[in-house]
Amino acid sequence: MDPLVRVNVEARVATIRLNDPPRNRITLPMATALHGAATEVTTRGDVRSVVLWGGERTFSAGGNVQVMSEQSPETMRPILAALGDAVSALEAVPKVVIAAIDGLCLGGGCEIALAADFRYAGKTARLGQPEIRFGIIPGAGATQRLQRLVGRSKAKELIYSGRWINAAEALSVGIVDHVVESGGAYPAALEAAVRYARAPAAEIAAAKAAIHAQDAGAAELLDVERDLLCGLFGTDDQRENMRAFLQK
């Protein structure tokens, strides 16, 4: 059986490939595998930069609503903790990390992409945090990382509405850094990763650590986000909205 997350290294660039087609749904095993991949690329001396990729058609469509609809706060917490820890591990990789986004990049999938240093998107990519439509909120860092990229007001608008945005809008508000032809996100991200792989490793790691130093205390804020999300499971809105989605 193919692993849910593949790591391939070539010319000092690691590709972390989400590998549960067609949607790359976020599950506990997927999150655990992603954490392992982040640890691997962090510790491998032959890796100097990283590309996160979900394939030509979908980065990740987020969590499995069928599974989430059956969860309680107690049973959902381990899943959220695993995904949150995986995303934080990706953000902490002391090397340049670039997300290559084609197709859907939603919910937990978008939160994975937000952990990268840069995001390259194909023209037909769609990004968003649609959780509020299901009676919940993001729980793997979007409430914090999104506002750092786009500002508090825009982050509120995107999270409160739950709407999807196209690549052009994502570029205009600062969620993605480059928009390329459809299907071209991975080649473009890989080309950039190769350039970064030539840079001095210690200096990149030091610069990244210095830039991220402003996020001191972020772990506590992420815990608040996770606790608030867990508290929404089992509410009438969560059950009704997820049930309505599944019936469609």
Active-site positions read 111, 131
In the sheet that holds 104-106, the strands lie side by side as 58-60, 104-106, 126-128, 164-166
Residues 6+ apart with CB under 8 A from 109: 18, 24, 26, 54, 59, 60, 61, 62
| Residue (of 52, 57, 13) closest to 34 by Cα position | 52
Tokens of 121: 């998107």
Query: What DSSP string runs through 32-56?
Result: HHHHHHHHHHHH-TT--EEEEE--S
Torsion angle in degrees (nearest 10) through CA of 75, 80, 85, 91? 170
Tell me: cis bond preceding 130? Omega within 30 of 0 counts.
Answer: no
Tokens of 3: 């692993």
Phi, psi for 186 (deg, rounded to 5): -65, -50
Q: Please tell me the distance from the alpha carbon of residue 116 to that of residue 133, in angstroms, as a whole number.
A: 25
